[in-house]
Structure 1
Amino acid sequence: MPEPTSPRRRTAAPLLVLAVLAAAFTAQAAAALRPHVPLLVASTAVSLAVEAGLYRWQPGMLSLFAKSHADVTVRHVLRDLLLVVGLLRLGEQHRETQYAPLVAGLLAFYALHCTVQAASVLVRRTRTLPVLTRNIDASALRLSPAPAALLRRPGHRLLVFGLPATAGLTATAVTGDPRHGAAGVALALLLTSAGLCALLLRLLPGRRPAGEREVLDWFDAWLAEYRPTVGLYFSGGLSSAYQANMWLEPLAGVGGRPLIVLRERFMVPRLAATDIPVVCLPKVSTLMRLEQSTLQVLIHPSNSGKTSQVLRIPTIKHTFVNHGESDKLSSCNPYAKAYDEVWVAGPAARERYALAEVGVEDKDVVEIGRPQLDAVRPCAGPPAGPYTTVLYAPTWEGWDGNPGNTSLVAAGENLVRALLADPGVRLLYKPHPLTGSVDPRAGAADRRVRELIRAANRERSAPRPAPSAELASRTAELDRLTTAAFRAGADQVERMLAQSAPEPGRAAAVARATAAWEEAYWASLPEGEHQIVTDARPDLYACFNVADLLVSDVSSVISDFLASEKPYAVANTSGLSEEAFRAAFPTVAAAAVLTPDAAGVPALLRSVRDPRQDGLAAARAELKRRLLGPASPPSQLRFAAAVQALCAAAQEHRARAGHRLSADFPGQRREAADAPAPEAGGPLTPRRPFRPV
């Protein structure tokens, strides 16, 4: 496990960079005014080195400099200006005329730099399409690879293109020969001119991607040809992609002609591998074009501010499936009543909505199970090896400040200490991605827990095996299927071009490669070594499959883990008694309840290792049925049946709306009545291949 940087070091590093850069400019100014050649050369070199280091190791400081009106252009101009001042102070009076062309060349270089930046902005605008897609043939849009990354990043570009001029001026300061400066400035002008030409060529009519009107017409034509029936709608932040990813495979198994609708451009590459066509519609005006399509149902795995925009489309039925269910109030959000239906896993969620009285009627609640939990393997008995694998997966602190949301602040360190104290425990620590985003105390507790785990690993000092060739091979294959298809400098249009024609069955290939990678990953770890799992791989369900016990909070993690029927424990940091805690949170009914002091951990571990001491096995099986529904019919079939029923309701609604429009406005607004009907057999006829060329 890589050693993370401590908070103090994270704070000290920017301050050190700022101090060194300020000292370098101060020294350069003093050397230019004095003048002092060695100091001038040394301070200029240090300034350039720190500048390069900013982009490599401290990119966060760049925005701070920009907000302070000390961006890269200002810093670069100041550096060269001080060199020119030094030259003028060093030279004799009659030599000032020899340096005048150097100053003129520098002015021309910076003017050209500004022109290149303007051209770069224009190119970026031509490559900002109103619709982004994946798994759809977009060759008609004249897509092309992105310009070189250097031309799109003003800071990097100025550093590279301006380096010859700065180096030439420095050489002139040392030698007194203005030809060095002239050569450096000329080379800088040449490089910048070449970059400008490369960008201007992309602005020619035949070299630009299609314009907005052309793209929208193409999108309308594609919708008319593909004729989507059911879609997944998602909008969220950078760390929320998992909420959509968990529903990709169930949606692909439904049949018909599914579609994925995204709202944020950055979410397109974060979506996991899928064969389903993906469209990103950032603008509301573009989103509204779905009203004239054959799309009948949109499935929503999360609420967001942009959800209300798509709910305005009356021709589409909307259902909320959530990305996880728990006893928290967030699982009974009043916003759910805005949807036509709410799909839940089992009877417990139905009861939860009824008790919450948030306006969701019982007739609109449909039980579908959790089809994505097919990946969770059932319990195979007590731990067979020398170690009991315990997964500690606390949730985040939430928005409401409830101390019972996460166990990290009040109990995390105690729980981890108690688990690490048992020499037969291998701990997997997987915190929620949003931990510390609201309450700094949760972030601090998370860092302390990680340090406890690292210290325990140092004491355990298990022999570390040689790097696994199998894992390296599996990682390379998985990267090839997921991310390696894109070069580092690819922009959104280039990614769209690369994903216009995916290999058939790519999603299945990624699933197989992921399973093989997970097997190789777990096999490569030293026996008994504790793990801090924060990367995208392995995912939570993969951790479920190797864990013998889960320790968590009141969250959807519990409900999902119950698919395995393995033992689990819940930390009670709510301040309630155990009896009141169990009464308030039904998902705790089959759990061992741990107090903040973690006193119950030893007994819990004994019950996991000896099934005769596990008195909750029957309760877990019963709670699984309440939370996730019956095992038969399978969740995927129930999910497909719910989709089919809601699609039928959407068709009936469209038919009634068409008749009303025809009767109320004869000869007008015929588009609703004349909207193309789904193909015979309904949306879920035996599945035909997608057409994502």
Structure 2
Amino acid sequence: MPPLLPPLRSAARALPLGLLVVALTVQAAAAVEPHLVLLIVATAAVLCAEAALHRWLPGQVTLLARVRADTMVRRLACDLLLLVGMIRMPGERSEAVYLPLVLGLLLFYALHLATHAAAIRVRQSRTLPLLTRNIDASALRITPAPRALLTRRHGPRLILFGLPLTAGLLVTATNDRPQYAAMGIAVSVGLAAVSLGTLARCLLRRGPATPDEVQEWFDAWLADYRPTVGMYFSGGASSAYQANMWLDALASLDGRPVILLRERFMMQRIGATDLPVICLPKVSQLLRLEQSSLKMLIHPANSGRTSQVLRVPTIKHAFVNHGESDKLSSCNPYAKAYDEVWVAGPAARERYALADVGVRDGDVVEIGRPQLAPIAPYAGPPTGPYTTVLYAPTWEGWDGNPGNTSVVLAGENIVRELLADPGVRLLYKPHPMTGSVDPRAGAADARIQELIHAANRARPGPRPAPGAAAELARRTAELDALTASAFRPDADDAERMLAQGTPEPGRAAAVDAATAAWEAAHWASLPEGEHQIVTSDRPALYACFNAADLLISDVSSVVSDYLAGEKPYAVANTGALSDAEFREAFPTVSAATVLTPDAAGVPALLASVRDPGGDGLAPARADLKLRLLGPSDPPSAVRFADAARELCRAADTHRRRMEERLLPGIPAQRRAEAAKPAREP
């Protein structure tokens, strides 16, 4: 039977909104037919529901705003209903006495509107046309941001500043003394007036540099730094890992690397690096790069905004992808838009040729996978009391193919078979997008995690060595000190840009060393034999590779990367293909044990991994590694650097040809077009 946890979570998410609707309805009834107790209880329930929505369910707050039921409308309705109910209560209540209260209430909301307008203007004045990291921005006159409660959280501000007003009205409703309501309104009006005055001072003093000044400053920096190579990345909030895996490889290139982004939120999602990071949100800013020294860009992913940078004719572009698998997404037709497609090994070259998507074989360059250097080589069968198995399924994908992920049809069976073996330690690392498209995948993931928790409860094992927890805490503190943001809670993008100026020398290397120390402390701190669910950024996937004796996964780039260590692995076949068809369709499966949805082959798989003579697939894995990742000599990092130099030479040659053209007006036209403000698509 499916666990009750997902339905309970859904009910918990709906509770505040339901409470708000019921409370407002009861409050209206208590105002029309005066009932003091119901009026007080309903008002308190409205306040609690509002606080819960803003604290835990901001998506529902946005949804209400879209149907014109935003925070101000709801709070005004609540206070007016309270005022009406208070006036209609039995007793000698003069409406003339309560008229000033109505006017005071309206004054408070008028000040709130004025404050909201001033906050919008302040945010606009502090929204720079571009953002940077690891570049000294002190010349831009950036000052600390005002309190976020004043500029970016108008809903919580209204609730907080309106509390004295609502409390005063409630007290007056109970004892018919208008002075309490007047006192509460006066306090709320005072808070609103102070916040408005604070924002007005921000508008009157000289703010950050103007857009033209920022662009002039950035052009001067480009002319001084003279970048030659870079990485271009655009994507959603959960896709930053695709760029982060290329940071070290980019930093190792000759020249002056730079990272170009398009989304402002991505600035803080890019990992630790000493390289300059630049966010250029507008197309017009990208087109100005034609006048820069930038020669080539690598692209870890395709996105809708990629086509915009491809319009710059002086820059050469290489698609490097964020992982290779036998899926169709690894030979996307969009790849033909790039000057070159850099792949790991011969298998990817063959994949593009078979897919016939318009990528010429001469544009495919084999560079290996430079980020796989940290993966440890196979050292033979496990020698300890436990065999560590990493189950790392991929997500369900966009096309609805049941063979994309094993989580739905086979995940629970695989995990049950693994947990049934007392000599197995399971590491379960689902894809971060599991359940984002198909709810069944999310539900299966929740059931798998519950199976693992239950197995750990029934399997108390020996505790880690004394002091291991303290060592992990120390390493965690060291790593957090290097990677955690040091920003004020109220800091905005402009203030973060100022704070993230010129980096300390060697910071990225220090983060790498601290990460390695943390990973060692993490594994040492775990109870021997305890199963683990890994859903956070730490430990990283490659650290799990090194801890595992066996991988069970799906047809995905995880398999290709894992083969760098030549360890045994298995792939789940949950589609409609037979075993022979499955192996023929997906070359990465040729050196794997194939598991059916019932996971009946798991015991035999574990036996072969533990038996020194039972692993008959080792030669096949070595051959497949060569086919997927290319040769080890020269190393992938060297081949990556050579490919970058060759593409830079091609860019230089192209520029010379353009300068020698018989039609010199074409470059001049391009410069004129780049100077024009571009319309956002």
TM-score by length of 2: 0.94
Q: Is the 8 A contact 1:326 1:556 kept in 2?
A: yes
Alpha-carbon deviation of 1:463? Answer: 6.3
Evaluate the alpha carbon distance shift between residue 544 and residue 189 of structure 1 in structure 2; reply closer, same or farther with a 3 A threshold.
Answer: same
Matches within 5 A, 1:562-573: 562-573=563-574
State the alpha-carbon separation in 1 of the partners of residues 288 and 665 from structure 2: 24
Matches within 5 A, 1:232-311: 232-311=231-310
Within the alignment, does 1:131 sit opposite 2:130 as a pair? yes
Q: Is the 8 A contact 1:14 1:61 kept in 2?
A: no
Q: Is the 8 A contact 2:93 2:176 kept in 1?
A: no
Evaluate the alpha carbon distance shift between residue 667 and residue 127 of structure 1 in structure 2; reply closer, same or farther with a 3 A threshold.
Answer: closer
SS in 2 for 1:614: coil
Moved more, 585-594 or 8-17: 8-17
The one-letter code matched in structure 2 to 1:566 is K
Evaluate the alpha carbon distance shift between residue 49 and residue 224 of structure 1 in structure 2; reply closer, same or farther with a 3 A threshold.
Answer: same
Alpha-carbon deviation of 1:80? Answer: 1.1
Evaluate the alpha carbon distance shift between residue 449 and residue 364 of structure 1 in structure 2; reply closer, same or farther with a 3 A threshold.
Answer: same
Residue 375 of structure 1: aligned partner: 374
Residue 534 of structure 2: aligned partner: 533
SS in 1 for 2:403: coil
Residue 153 of structure 2: aligned partner: 153
Evaluate the alpha carbon distance shift between residue 107 and residue 642 of structure 1 in structure 2; reply closer, same or farther with a 3 A threshold.
Answer: same
Q: Is the 8 A contact 2:566 2:618 kept in 1?
A: yes
State the alpha-carbon separation in 1 of the partners of residues 435 and 479 from structure 2: 31
State the alpha-carbon separation in 1 of the partners of residues 57 and 266 from structure 2: 25
Residue 317 of structure 2: aligned partner: 318
Within the alignment, does 1:44 sit opposite 2:50 as a pair? no
State the alpha-carbon separation in 1 of the partners of residues 20 and 105 from structure 2: 22
Alpha-carbon deviation of 1:341? Answer: 0.8
Alpha-carbon deviation of 1:109? Answer: 0.3
Matches within 5 A, 1:79-118: 79-90=78-89, 95-118=94-117
State the alpha-carbon separation in 1 of the partners of residues 214 and 126 from structure 2: 11
Matches within 5 A, 1:64-75: 64-75=63-74
Matches within 5 A, 1:507-656: 507-656=508-657
SS in 1 for 2:597: coil
Q: Is the 8 A contact 1:563 1:624 kept in 2?
A: yes
The one-letter code matched in structure 2 to 1:42 is V
State the alpha-carbon separation in 2 of the partners of residues 589 and 244 from structure 1: 29
State the alpha-carbon separation in 2 of the partners of residues 548 and 667 from structure 1: 60
Alpha-carbon deviation of 1:39? Answer: 3.0
**Aligned pair count?**
666
State the alpha-carbon separation in 1 of the partners of residues 401 and 75 from structure 2: 50
State the alpha-carbon separation in 1 of the partners of residues 667 and 616 from structure 2: 70
State the alpha-carbon separation in 2 of the partners of residues 128 and 213 from structure 1: 13
State the alpha-carbon separation in 2 of the partners of residues 141 and 617 from structure 1: 59
The one-letter code matched in structure 2 to 1:97 is A
Alpha-carbon deviation of 1:666? Answer: 7.8
State the alpha-carbon separation in 2 of the partners of residues 493 and 100 from structure 1: 45
Evaluate the alpha carbon distance shift between residue 666 and residue 475 of structure 1 in structure 2; reply closer, same or farther with a 3 A threshold.
Answer: closer
Alpha-carbon deviation of 1:223? Answer: 0.9
State the alpha-carbon separation in 2 of the partners of residues 65 and 526 from structure 1: 47
The one-letter code matched in structure 2 to 1:485 is A
Evaluate the alpha carbon distance shift between residue 667 and residue 299 of structure 1 in structure 2; reply closer, same or farther with a 3 A threshold.
Answer: closer
Evaluate the alpha carbon distance shift between residue 69 and residue 666 of structure 1 in structure 2; reply closer, same or farther with a 3 A threshold.
Answer: closer
SS in 1 for 2:373: helix
Q: Following TM superposition, where does structure 1 have runs of at least 4 consecutive aligned residues deviating by more than 4 angstroms? A: 91-94, 463-467
Moved more, 481-490 or 556-565: 481-490
Q: Is the 8 A contact 1:378 1:566 kept in 2?
A: yes
* Deviation readout 1:248-305 (Å, 9 max, x if unpaired): 0000011210010011111110000100001111111111111110000010111111
State the alpha-carbon separation in 2 of the partners of residues 18 and 321 from structure 1: 46
Q: Is the 8 A contact 1:91 1:176 kept in 2?
A: no
Residue 200 of structure 1: aligned partner: 200
Residue 183 of structure 1: aligned partner: 183
The one-letter code matched in structure 1 to 2:171 is A
Alpha-carbon deviation of 1:104? Answer: 1.0
* Deviation readout 1:419-465 (Å, 9 max, x if unpaired): 11111111111111222222222222222222222222222244666
State the alpha-carbon separation in 2 of the partners of residues 637 and 652 from structure 1: 23
Moved more, 115-124 or 174-183: 174-183
The one-letter code matched in structure 2 to 1:547 is A
SS in 2 for 1:259: strand
* Deviation readout 1:118-150 (Å, 9 max, x if unpaired): 111111111221111100111111122222121
Evaluate the alpha carbon distance shift between residue 649 and residue 667 of structure 1 in structure 2; reply closer, same or farther with a 3 A threshold.
Answer: closer
* Deviation readout 1:378-437 (Å, 9 max, x if unpaired): 122222221111111111122222222111222111111111111111111111122222
The one-letter code matched in structure 2 to 1:230 is V
Q: Is the 8 A contact 1:296 1:316 kept in 2?
A: yes
The one-letter code matched in structure 2 to 1:125 is Q
State the alpha-carbon separation in 2 of the partners of residues 338 and 670 from structure 1: 23
SS in 1 for 2:268: coil
Moved more, 370-379 or 471-480: 471-480
State the alpha-carbon separation in 2 of the partners of residues 546 and 68 from structure 1: 51
SS in 2 for 1:268: helix
State the alpha-carbon separation in 2 of the partners of residues 19 and 322 from structure 1: 45
Matches within 5 A, 1:669-684: 669=668
The one-letter code matched in structure 1 to 2:272 is A
Q: Any unmatched runs of 5+ in structure 2?
A: 672-681
CA RMSD, aligned part only?
2.0
Q: Is the 8 A contact 1:376 1:544 kept in 2?
A: yes
Residue 173 of structure 1: aligned partner: 173
Residue 397 of structure 2: aligned partner: 398
Q: Is the 8 A contact 1:389 1:426 kept in 2?
A: yes
Moved more, 36-45 or 547-556: 36-45
Alpha-carbon deviation of 1:84? Answer: 1.2
Residue 459 of structure 1: aligned partner: 458
* Deviation readout 1:462-501 (Å, 9 max, x if unpaired): 4666992222222222222222312333221121111113
State the alpha-carbon separation in 2 of the partners of residues 666 and 506 from structure 1: 46
Alpha-carbon deviation of 1:31? Answer: 3.1
The one-letter code matched in structure 2 to 1:573 is T
TM-score by length of 1: 0.93
Residue 502 of structure 1: aligned partner: 503
Alpha-carbon deviation of 1:22? Answer: 2.7
Evaluate the alpha carbon distance shift between residue 93 and residue 177 of structure 1 in structure 2; reply closer, same or farther with a 3 A threshold.
Answer: closer
* Deviation readout 1:25-81 (Å, 9 max, x if unpaired): 233333333433333223222221222122223333212322332221112112211
Q: Is the 8 A contact 2:260 2:278 kept in 1?
A: yes
Residue 682 of structure 1: aligned partner: none
SS in 1 for 2:425: strand
SS in 1 for 2:660: helix
Q: Is the 8 A contact 1:135 1:499 kept in 2?
A: yes
Residue 690 of structure 1: aligned partner: none
The one-letter code matched in structure 2 to 1:304 is S
SS in 2 for 1:419: helix
Evaluate the alpha carbon distance shift between residue 424 and residue 666 of structure 1 in structure 2; reply closer, same or farther with a 3 A threshold.
Answer: closer
